């Protein structure tokens, strides 16, 4: 017998301590030996009560009722704890996996096909957006960007036609890739400018911070801060330059126009996008001139007056049209 009969007798006579009573009740409810002992005791007491109800050697009705209530309560508590532990053992891992799955799903497109969104910034406007990973993007006028609603589990990829400045949130496990025509720029956490208008002859990437890799076809070109990559889409030539002030290239995001020895043809393209106007070159020889100018974005007429001070080229503004002549 696992539990001493003296302890059982003290419990029955209500002279036992709380610990002893708890031990006996647990033994009665959780062991085969205890349950058999309790059954024998009840059978014996039932016989004694039938033989001599006044003998005083059996449980009183009050004692029997109290003992049964205590045993029944301990059995129910023990069963509840067992069920709770079993349910927790099953539910906790499931809830953890569901929570992890929801987090991954909210941050990536791991559990579904990639759904893309597209944003176009018309001429005369610019914009600033944030992706779900915290990456900040400035979009210049006449720019289109295509991006997934949720980045992939391994990569963060966007598609650009136009000009954009990227402040990429660091994530060493998920490179950020900017695709532009048949080129790509891959970074981990970097600040850089990409000029890749489909109608332009060149694609230019200027790196302000961090490291990046410019790829065209099968060739990769690593870049360091302060460098500019220029890829000629017609000739296939790729050139690397060191810039003294690389941040000047992205001054457009601060509403500053920046030209440095820029041919008039490129100046015209930039101004057309910024002001949503059309230039008409009436004197082709005017395209031989280049311009160097840094200025806060002005009214169009004020800007044209500034350009006229740099070279002997005249600009006549009428409606949405600008006529260029010598």
Helices (H) and strands (E) in the chain, counts: 6, 18
Which of 325 and 62 is assigned the larger pLDDT? 325
CB 258 within 8 A of CB 252: yes
User: Is the pLDDT assigned to residue 14 strictly greater than 80?
Assistant: no
**pLDDT category, 126, cuts 50, 70, 90?**
very high
Residue with tokens 């961090």: 210
d(CA 228, CA 205): 6
Q: Does pLDDT of 57 surpass 50?
A: no
Mean pLDDT of 84-113: 51
Q: Which residue has the tokens 């990536």?
A: 108
- From the options 3.40.190.10, 3.40.50.40, 2.60.120.1440, 3.30.70.260, give the CATH code of 114-249: 2.60.120.1440
Question: Which percentage of the chain shows pLDDT scores above 70?
Answer: 71
Tokens 């007429």 belong to which residue? 301
pLDDT band at 23 (very low <50, low <70, confident <90, very high): confident
Phi/psi of residue 73, each to 5°? -65, -45
pLDDT mean over 68-90:
62
Query: Residue 124 carries which DSSP code?
Result: T
Q: Is the pLDDT of residue 287 over 90?
A: yes
pLDDT-based confidence at 74, cuts 50/70/90?
A: low
Q: Report the pLDDT value the prediction gives residue 286, as an integer from 0 to 100.
A: 94
pLDDT at site 175: 92
User: What residue spans define the domains of the chain?
Assistant: 5-107, 114-249, 255-326
The span from the CA of 208 to the CA of 141, in Å, is 21
Q: Mean per-residue pLDDT for 315-320?
A: 91
The residue among 74, 86, 82, 63 whose CA lies nearest residue 35 is 74
Residue 209 above 80 pLDDT? yes
Mean pLDDT, the chain, integer: 81
Q: Which structure tokens are listed for 192?
A: 């850089």
Q: Any idea which of 88-102, 104-118, 219-233 has the lowest mean pLDDT?
A: 88-102
pLDDT in tens, 218-268: 899 999 999 999 999 999 999 999 999 999 999 999 999 999 999 999 999
Q: What is the pLDDT of residues 166-180, one digit of tens each?
A: 999 999 889 999 999
pLDDT for the residue 56: 46
pLDDT at 218: 84
The fold for domain 255-326 equals Phage tail protein beta-alpha-beta fold (3.55.50)
Answer yes or no: is pLDDT of 49 > 80.
no
> Per-residue pLDDT averaged across 29-56, rounded?
59
DSSP-based three-state secondary structure for 255: coil
Is it the case that residue 137 has pLDDT exceeding 80?
Answer: yes
State yes or no: pLDDT of 125 exceeds 90.
Answer: yes
Residue 85 has a pLDDT of 62
- What number is the average pLDDT over the span 22-32? 70
Confidence of residue 97 (pLDDT cuts 50, 70, 90): very low
- pLDDT tens track for 147-163: 998 887 788 999 999 99
231 near 238, Cβ under 8 Å?
Answer: yes
**What confidence category does residue 99 fall into, taking pLDDT thresholds of 50, 70 and 90?**
low
Tell me, what's the pLDDT at 253? Answer: 93
Is the pLDDT confidence value at 312 over 60? yes
Return the percentage of the chain with pLDDT > 90, whole number: 55
Residue 102 has pLDDT above 50, yes or no: no
């Amino acid at each position: 017998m696992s539990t001493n009969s003296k302890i059982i007798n003290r419990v029955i006579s209500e002279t036992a301590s709380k610990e002893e009573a708890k031990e006996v009740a647990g033994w009665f409810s959780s062991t085969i030996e205890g349950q058999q002992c309790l059954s024998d005791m009840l059978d014996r007491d039932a016989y004694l009560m039938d033989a001599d109800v006044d003998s005083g050697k059996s449980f009183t009705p009050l004692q029997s009722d109290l003992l049964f209530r205590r045993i029944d309560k301990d059995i129910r508590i023990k069963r509840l704890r067992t069920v709770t532990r079993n349910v927790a053992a099953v539910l906790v891992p499931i809830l953890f996996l569901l929570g992890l799955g929801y987090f991954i799903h909210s941050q990536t497109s791991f559990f579904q096909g990639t759904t893309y969104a597209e944003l176009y910034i018309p001429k005369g406007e610019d914009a600033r957006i944030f992706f779900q990973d915290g990456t900040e993007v400035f979009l210049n006028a006449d720019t289109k960007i295509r991006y997934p609603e949720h980045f992939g589990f391994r990569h963060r990829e966007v598609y650009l036609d136009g000009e954009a400045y990227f402040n990429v949130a660091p994530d060493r496990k998920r490179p950020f890739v900017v695709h532009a025509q048949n080129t790509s720029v891959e970074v981990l956490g970097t600040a850089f400018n990409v000029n890749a208008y489909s109608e332009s002859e060149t694609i230019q990437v200027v790196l302000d911070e961090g490291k990046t890799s410019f790829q065209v076809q099968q060739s990769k070109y690593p870049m360091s801060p302060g460098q500019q990559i220029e890829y000629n889409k017609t000739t296939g030539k790729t050139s690397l330059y060191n810039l003294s002030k690389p941040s000047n290239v992205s001054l457009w995001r601060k509403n500053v126009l920046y030209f440095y020895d820029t041919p008039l043809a490129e100046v015209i393209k930039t101004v057309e996008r910024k002001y949503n106007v059309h230039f008409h070159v009436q004197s082709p020889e005017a395209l031989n001139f280049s311009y160097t100018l840094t200025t806060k974005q002005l009214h169009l007429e004020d800007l044209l007056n500034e350009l006229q001070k740099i070279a002997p080229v005249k600009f006549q503004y009428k409606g949405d049209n600008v006529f260029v002549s010598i």
